[in-house]
Structure 1
């Protein structure tokens, strides 16, 4: 007589064991300890209770050392893979308009988006300092999942490391992202030509200013928030009206000035900006005047710089203004032949000055 359990009975037993395991996988410590990075039960509970529970999706739930994808389903979106990685060390972890978790998701999504790609999947690796409050980590991870939901992407694999107290500053995050570039989309700074228009999707310098004020080193009272937001929806709309986008980049560290200098050098063209057309909030200008900063170099986390053929400029601008992430978009300059590799700014006083590459760092640990 066969006394082995039936398949249905086995499945029922496995389900019960899984429920018990899930109930037991709960972080009971209030602060991160070295045991949470040891590979044992404490680490298992941390990953299960905080990361797996928040990022829950079919790929992550496999709990393998890697995420695997069906290539045929990926290729339905396009014919080329876009792949990027970034690390986030922003101080403070929480700031007006966002936090390090939201920043990590949106920053990586935007790096994919400016290639014209549809972002699909992200990784999440964290370096935790011994002594970090578990609730702080839980809040950051929850914020990452909210941002992922808003961006329509999944966080599918990751890693956790813990270092001794003082060997890091609370929490660092590394993300990698993959997306698919649609057929026919070829965006590269090498394609920029004289006659092209330069467009930005809104006010510059908000993120850098928000971080500066959040550090509490200045007795300033403003309502400036980070512009942290995903941009792939805006990019998708742009490509519908202008499939011939020549260049696109998100203006993060180094700001608008750095991006445009990179563009000018890549295509060996000149760029002329018009100061009166560049959107900058008065509060940001005020902070810059007090501290001797230039808003053209301040970091952004939800702003892209777009270069399109001049004939498409007005249509692109109209489309951008109809999207929430581009409602304050402006045409701010043009591509010129000479001087090659140089960015010029025509000021409100009708004079011109060179806008060079950022030297040094106006504000460290901005993202």
Structure 2
């Protein structure tokens, strides 16, 4: 680890400006994950007397450095029994687990480092919110909400095998056929082709998927043929399965996000592929579509679900407020104000503790 500067999954930088890793303070919150806390030095001066960057700090900064370290250490203690217990690991989505370690890998020796801590805190807060939502969603409710968000009739969201079949058929069909002149023509011709192989029929799935790909910006284009006629083709950037599949997945995720629907990357992977192997791809799509409003949307969805499921409405109100405050973190301003900075870490610990207690 000492020779690495990046975490490959979340691209967390361990360096600050021109300060190398070896000049930074030892990361005791991270060590708590691996060692018994009793084995680690308790005295701050003993921990950092050989660290020049720490010894240069003024007394006030040192005191808040210690406060930060204590908060992160408490978070380490909260998650340690969970990540070491296979039966409890599902409390956190894998995205949330990575965000936790992004935070624990942070350095906070200066303003730049504290800004990174706040950025990691805000991001983790959003993922905790989504994990809380995940707790309240049963599979049928999840699918019903998804269909409503993308305006499909109930029961019309295609199964993963059907999604793959239709998309691959579109690719194959448009490569071979040169007489398709409209979207309706494409749907009808494809449905006839696929139904010959599938006696149960998939007309609605073909129609829904072609319609989704036709929404602006359209994935199709009219191409003039040698005989001066025109035919629908896929645009060049969508002429292989991987590219059209990513576009299809992205469009559904974008539509659901714009309609106030939140899922973890693992849930998206399961809905689209019935496995978790595509989780990183889903996380990448989500990150690309993420906006400043995304956390606010997740907070509202959490509140609407939790107030009907929790016996303690006051707790739900408090949590809504905590998530709202975390979503409004100002990286530049709050990193300069110790009260705001440590307050954000305190809020994070509270929402993390709530998520853990949901599963007790």
Larger radius of gyration: 2
Structure with the largest fraction of helix: 2
TM range (shorter): under 0.3
Structure with the largest fraction of strand: 1
TM-score for both structures, normalised by structure 2: 0.25
